[in-house]
Amino acid sequence: MAEKTVSVIGMGSMGSALAKAFLANNHPVTVWNRTASKCTPLEQAGAKVAKSVVDAAEASQVMVISLLNYEATQSLLQTPEVIEKLKGKVIVQLSTGFPREARESEAWANQNGISYLDGAILEYPTGIGKEESVFFYSGSEKVFEENKALLRCLAGNPRFVGKDAGHAATLDISTISVYYGASLGFLHGAAICNSEGFPVDKYLSATIPLLSGLIPDTLNMSEKMINEGSYTAKIATLDVHVAGLKHLLEFIKENRLDTAFMECVLGYCKKAVDMGYTQDELAAVFEVMKMKVDKKIE
């Protein structure tokens, strides 16, 4: 059977990696980019270069989008000429965006007779095409299943995460939160080591075991408690956490380091204590974080 034809819109660092991954799997690829010169490496690798988005839409069965955002996508696709060429075809939106934008895009596509799948990339361009890489997809499960073989070119683990088109973006944003929280936590610890003359390489090797022990244990317990809506302390109460964090903050001040990170962490725990979760686990901080801003205790 002939491989599916695919057009990739956007030859930034991510779009170029996506197009290369399709080419590596013998799919006929057409590329388009606003700045045409960025298509040259892909042309040299075997892709066709479309002169316009209309031509790119006409060229392939599937159109994969990798642009700065959804706004740029709309400005390119929402023209009568492009819509005409996309009818009966598939759009896979891989630009980063909000869940609302994903739902709106799906509604627009379906209203115009275009199949739509929304995706989120949890990789750098260097991770594209690797067996262990993960992409999230949401929206039409039928569209996902029909295009799964094609999507596997981009990441060995294409995961369908829900029929709500916004759910891939939701998971993207929430996992990015883990990425920044964990990474800044690590950097903050490195600054503490630095202030005490402790070597950062030894600090890193001490941190690694936490990633397979204490942290997954805490996450598993938190997930269970959030689902049950009950946080009764089994290991450490929030009172104990607050006392420990206050002590840490004193240390950070004493070493004349930036206090913002620790104040933020302590602030959340104190709010949960103020709400009455004194004898509950750290997971009770979820009750603070889930509140809409206008209802939060100041």
Ligand X SMILES: NC(=O)c1ccc[n+]([C@@H]2O[C@H](COP(=O)([O-])OP(=O)(O)OC[C@H]3O[C@@H](n4cnc5c(N)ncnc54)[C@H](OP(=O)(O)O)[C@@H]3O)[C@@H](O)[C@H]2O)c1
Applying CB under 6 A, which residues contact ligand X? 10-15, 33-35, 38, 66-69, 72, 75-76, 95-96, 121, 124-125
| C-beta of 82 vs 238, nearer to ligand X | 82
- For the bound state, the minimum distance from the C-beta of residue 35 to ligand X, rounded and expressed in Å, comes to 3
C-alpha span between 100 and 25 (Å, rounded) = 33
- For the bound state, the minimum distance from the C-beta of residue 166 to ligand X, rounded and expressed in Å, comes to 16
Secondary structure letter of residue 112 according to DSSP: T
189-195: list long-range contacts, CB under 8 Å, 24+ apart: 191/257, 191/258, 192/251, 192/252, 192/255, 192/257, 195/255, 195/256, 195/257
C-alpha span between 288 and 262 (Å, rounded) = 17
Residue 114's identity, in one-letter code, is: I
Burial of residue 214, with CB atoms counted within 10 A of its CB: 0-12 exposed, 13-18 middle, 19 or more buried: exposed
- For the bound state, the minimum distance from the C-beta of residue 51 to ligand X, rounded and expressed in Å, comes to 15
- For the bound state, the minimum distance from the C-beta of residue 234 to ligand X, rounded and expressed in Å, comes to 37
Residue 43's identity, in one-letter code, is: E
C-alpha span between 150 and 8 (Å, rounded) = 13
Phi, psi dihedrals of residue 121, rounded to the nearest 5°: -100, 120
Q: Nearest to ligand X by Cβ — which residue? A: 12
| C-beta of 67 vs 266, nearer to ligand X | 67
Residue in the structure block whose two tokens are 């941190």: 207
| C-beta of 63 vs 265, nearer to ligand X | 63
- For the bound state, the minimum distance from the C-beta of residue 226 to ligand X, rounded and expressed in Å, comes to 27
| C-beta of 124 vs 186, nearer to ligand X | 124
**CA-angle at 204, arms to 198 and 205, nearest 5°:** 105
Residue 254, token pair as written in the block: 């004493």
C-alpha span between 84 and 247 (Å, rounded) = 64
- For the bound state, the minimum distance from the C-beta of residue 200 to ligand X, rounded and expressed in Å, comes to 25
The separation between CA 60 and the C-alpha centre of its own chain, rounded to angstroms, equals: 27
- For the bound state, the minimum distance from the C-beta of residue 171 to ligand X, rounded and expressed in Å, comes to 13
Contact between residue 130 and residue 206 where contact means Cβ atoms under 8 Å apart: no
Contact between residue 106 and residue 139 where contact means Cβ atoms under 8 Å apart: yes
